Amino acid sequence: MVLLIAHQSQRTVKGNTIHQTATTAENACQAVDDLDHMVAHINFKLQKQQGEISTATRHLLQLAAAAGSKLQTATAAHNAAAKPAASMATNLAKLAGMQIMVAEQHATEIQGKNGAAVAGGAWFGQNGMPIQLKTLGKANLQCHNHLQTRPRTMATKEKVNDRYAVTFVHLSKATPATGAGAAGPRICADETATNQVCPADSASNPTNILLAGGKLTKKALTTYQAKSESDTTYEPATKQATEQMPPQAAVTDLLKNLDSVDQQIAKLTYKADDILPAALLDDEETKQALLQILKPGTTWDKVSEHEIQIEELKKKLLKSDQTDAGTKL
């Protein structure tokens, strides 16, 4: 599944970045998609790179002299990226879990109650009037609803301080409802109301009382971006120290090292075909080695001045003037 997601996501990234770049999340469920995309891309790149290294290893005995340094460099890059990348993938998965719960929490609201007489306890009832949730959870998660994840506004994500930003949705307290209407949650007094609609002004001598239902939270779509080109710590564009769930500090902490992992993953470009004979003969390192045979002590930046001699030497090494370098070698 991870490989499938990563394969499908190749169309939505710029270059080798782990970020979703074709679009920006507009709600919690889309943010989950973005975070899942990043996790899948990290895992896909690591697995793909490990596979390329494993394939290349089978050719190592034949091409050890020419390919050894390439394979060693690729292995070192993979090993350097593996541990921090795995840690970052775990952190991104945690953030995705938080986003799922944000979507679930925001879907809940307080159950309203139609207006009834205050006198005689008609509205309150013998055991009081419970304040309770209208619903709590459904058969499927909110983010399984395709309307929450699609359609997305397709607009290429732009970099901020030369880094792609990350979108995360927090919850904050809902703004208290005011004025006439059914907006809530709030308790209103009225002289005759039998519905859940508050009057413009509560009556001075109410006979009825009602509860207008509604949400206790509102969404806070937040962009986390690098502080500057030199300081790649991801912080919220609009800081809110308190009154948000989860806290912004928790997200900042989990995004720590995101940029360095992105850079390391981008460098995992080694392919097993890089050590096939034809590729090795055209490799810059091979040309530099041949230059030392032709002109010992010549600096490597002089390769371009001796291209003809180097090509002639290649033919001698192959003992043929044919161009099928791979077969002849």
By percentage, how much of the chain surpasses pLDDT 90? 47
Q: In what order do the strands lie in the sheet with 234-236?
A: 234-236, 217-226, 166-173, 244-245
DSSP letter string, 43-75: HHHHHHHHHHHHHHHTTHHHHHHHHHHHHHHHH
Inform me whether the pLDDT recorded for 325 exceeds 60: no
Inform me whether the pLDDT recorded for 216 exceeds 50: yes
Distance CA 172, CA 176 (A): 12
- What's the pLDDT score for residue 1? 36
Q: Which segment, 47-61, 122-136, 167-181, 279-293, is predicted with the most confidence on average?
A: 167-181
At position 155, the amino acid (one-letter code) is: A
Please choose, from the candidates 14, 158, 39, the residue with its C-alpha nearest in 3D space to the C-alpha of residue 99: 39
- What's the pLDDT score for residue 317? 63
> The pTM is what?
0.73
Per DSSP bridges, beta strands 217-226 and 234-236 are: antiparallel
Q: Give the model confidence (pLDDT) of 230-285 as tens digits.
A: 998 999 999 988 889 999 999 999 999 999 999 999 999 998 887 776 677 677 76
- What's the pLDDT score for residue 192? 83
Inform me whether the pLDDT recorded for 202 exceeds 70: no
- What's the pLDDT score for residue 151? 78
Give domain limits for the chain.
2-109+139-174+216-274, 276-328
Q: In DSSP terms, which residues pair with 171 in a beta bridge?
A: 219, 245
At position 183, the amino acid (one-letter code) is: A
Please choose, from the candidates 187, 207, 194, the residue with its C-alpha nearest in 3D space to the C-alpha of residue 115: 194
Please choose, from the candidates 102, 44, 322, the residue with its C-alpha nearest in 3D space to the C-alpha of residue 218: 102
DSSP state letter for 119:
G
Question: How many residues would you count in the chain?
Answer: 329
Within 10 Å of residue 259's Cβ, how many Cβ atoms? 18
Inform me whether the pLDDT recorded for 303 exceeds 70: no
Cα dihedral 251, 252, 257, 261 sign: positive
- Residue 225, phi then psi, degrees to nearest 5: -145, 160
Distance CA 170, CA 158 (A): 22
- State the number of CA atoms in the 13 A half-sphere of 312 facing the CB: 6
Q: Which residues of 207-234 are buried (b: 16+ CB within 10 A; e: fewer)?
A: ebbbbbbbbebebbbbbbbbeeeeebeb
Q: Give the model confidence (pLDDT) of 46-81 as tens digits.
A: 999 999 888 777 655 545 555 677 788 899 999 999
Distance CA 270, CA 55 (A): 11
What average pLDDT score do residues 178-203 get? 87
Question: Do 43 and 6 contact (CB within 8 A), yes or no?
Answer: yes
